Amino acid sequence: MRYVMVIDLKRCIGCYGCQIACKSENATPPGVFWARVLKQEAGKFPNVRRSSLPLLCMHCQDPACQQVCPTGATTKSDSGIVEVDSDACVGCRYCMMACPYSARYFNGKERSYFGQELNEYEKAGYPNHPIGVVEKCDFCHHRLEKKLEPACVANCMAKARYFGDLDDPNSEVSRLIREKRGQQLHPELGTDPSVYYLPA
């Protein structure tokens, strides 16, 4: 089994719903975005086009972050998910420099969204974010264990995201990649990402 995500750029409307759903599901601190959306404008008025590019950890099959990790904190599961063991991470941030997709974040200190005191939501969620370690998207591993889709997929209002097993030739993700020319971001780097984009 190899989990992959397919993002249809033709359907994506750049609403940031994936970004907010990820923050809500994982209670990430201020400034930490495991899912994010980049915007770009091209052309001249009145022929202007605005495009959106959703980004997250690419869960590469040959991850550059894993190669430089001195403690073995970064590992890859049998399903292809790249994970970080917070107990083994020493916060050296080599993986952040090695990641070509800027998908990792260092949790350097406890931060609240509103004032100095943590609210009840932060008190419940922040124990999952140890101080002094690097974090990133894990395809909502806790949801996958319950047979649920990642939060960004389940909450995409435009239905632009798909998630499934690439090793199953009959799965929806396999069919979309095959029939609609799914492409990886920066395939020339040789990392073999597990996130595919359908062209706009």
At residue 152 the predicted structure's pLDDT band, cuts being 50, 70 and 90, is: very high
pLDDT at 8 over 90: yes
How high is the pLDDT of residue 115?
A: 86
Mean pLDDT for 132-151 is 97
* Token reading at 188: 């020339």
Q: Where are the domains of the chain?
A: 3-198
**Distance from C-alpha of 192 to C-alpha of 82, rounded to nearest angstrom:** 12
Mean pLDDT of the chain: 96
At residue 186 the predicted structure's pLDDT band, cuts being 50, 70 and 90, is: very high
CA trace torsion 88, 92, 98, 100 (10° rounding): 90
**Residues 72-114: pLDDT tens digits?**
999 999 999 999 999 999 999 999 999 999 999 999 999 999 9
Which of 58, 14, 57 has its CA nearest to residue 37? 14
Determine the CATH number of domain 3-198: 3.30.70.20
Alpha helices per DSSP H over 27-145: 64-68, 94-98, 120-125, 141-144
